[in-house]
Amino acid sequence: MESNDPLFDGLIREALQEPGEPGYELTAKVRQLIEKGEIPMKRTNRTPVKTLLIAAAILVLASATAFAAVQLLRPADEIAELLGDEAAADAFRSENAVFIDQKEQSGDYEITLMGIAPVDELDGFGLDNAQNQTYAVIAVSKVDGLAMPEIDSAEYVPLYPLPLVKGVMPWQMGALNTTANTVLDGVLYILAGCDDLEIFADRGVYLGISDRMFYSQDTFIYHEDTGVIARNEGYGGVNVLFELPLDVGKADYQQAELLLYGEPSPSPTEIEPSLEPPIDPSGGDVQPEWSFEELLALHRESYGSMSIEQLSELYRYIYDIPLEECVLIEDSVKTSSPNAEGYISYEYEGDGFSTSRTSLYSIYANSPVGELIKSGAGTNRDGFIIDVYIVSANGDVTFMLYSWEP
């Protein structure tokens, strides 16, 4: 039962040979051939019985294939080009592009990771800090077959891709560098770009997609003992997790450490034990201009007349006081999460002392989980305050104040 078009017959045979739905590359090929007119679409008022039998056989033997052909996904390079990102479009046309076509269902949505593509240094685009990038194209459709709402409509629910790495605290990875969305043929397409993910290939890399802009333990669970990240099955919103098939041979431990911590470090296998004594961070021979006792006396006698240099030196002494010798101000303990712009805030007003600050969440991203960390010291006429914070496993930051009296 073949048509008069051998090209069309070949594509149908290819589709029927594969179980389930056709792959991304095949559906893209069919769409392109139809749009170019290479598969003739003839109109007629008569429907021969033989044609009906052929259609019935295809529906019975390959209903999944027939349904998928109704809603063919646009090629990834076409999506990138439509969204105005030529670098991403070229990346998906290159031999380095990886077409994944993996589908996951969450809530009312079927989410497809169409593919990923690395882009070498973007120095051709006039960037001062050019570095490698990784792009991904995601397609989102409704399970019930209805069209996705337009982006500017009240029904639209934004979805956010999030790169994650096994063994790396999720908030250390930061947000994506670029994200662009569009709705075509009732399908939501997301083009996401971030810093080079191939350098983490030896650790295991994920791409999470959820209705939360930032990482949350509600959507993805980070297991501190193993470093594994898993989808939170109990989350009531949208969350899916894909593991990326990256080339382990392209991993770069030093570049990964540079991206995470701002400085390269040798691979664990390259570290050699040292017999040298540790370097004194204070500089050893550098002596403070005033002793702690002198500054405390100045504070008691003439607090208002102390110079900036004297106060700064006094804060350094206070900062070094062990927390065991201080008293926690219990009503100062407050937990905060980053807002949509990536900032985190803390505010406290107590007897004789108040503080208010808003800072970038990235400041706290590299902090070890579960450890009390000092962030500063201050004073008023009556006593001294030490700022402390602690980062929890879900990325929240708890701020608190300790008081110290001579």
Q: What is the pLDDT of residues 139-177, one digit of tens each?
A: 999 999 999 999 988 889 889 899 999 988 787 775 566
Find the largest Cα–Cα distance for the chain.
106
Domain segments of the chain: what residues? 6-70, 76-261, 292-404
Structure confidence at residue 150 (pLDDT) = 93
User: What is the band of 38 on the pLDDT scale with cuts at 50, 70, 90?
Assistant: low
User: What is the band of 42 on the pLDDT scale with cuts at 50, 70, 90?
Assistant: very low
**Is 50 exceeded by the pLDDT of residue 391?**
yes
209, 111 Cβ separation under 8 angstroms: yes
Structure confidence at residue 21 (pLDDT) = 47
The pair of three-digit structure tokens given for residue 111, joined into one six-digit string: 């989410």
**Is 70 exceeded by the pLDDT of residue 71?**
no
Say whether 357 sits in a helix, a strand or coil.
Answer: strand
**d(C-alpha 96, C-alpha 344), whole Å:** 38
CATH 1.25.10 fits 76-261, yes or no: no
pLDDT in tens, 285-343: 445 578 888 888 887 777 666 776 777 778 778 888 899 999 998 989 999 888 776 77
Structure confidence at residue 238 (pLDDT) = 93
386, 404 Cβ separation under 8 angstroms: yes
To the question of pTM greater than 0.75 for the whole model, the response is no
370 burial via Cβ count (<10 Å: 0-12, 13-18, 19+): exposed
Of 208, 214, 203, residue with least CA distance to 175: 214
The pair of three-digit structure tokens given for residue 16, joined into one six-digit string: 């029927």
pLDDT in tens, 333-390: 999 888 776 778 888 877 666 677 676 676 677 678 888 888 777 776 567 888 898 9
Of 322, 327, 203, residue with least CA distance to 257: 203
**d(C-alpha 53, C-alpha 59), whole Å:** 10
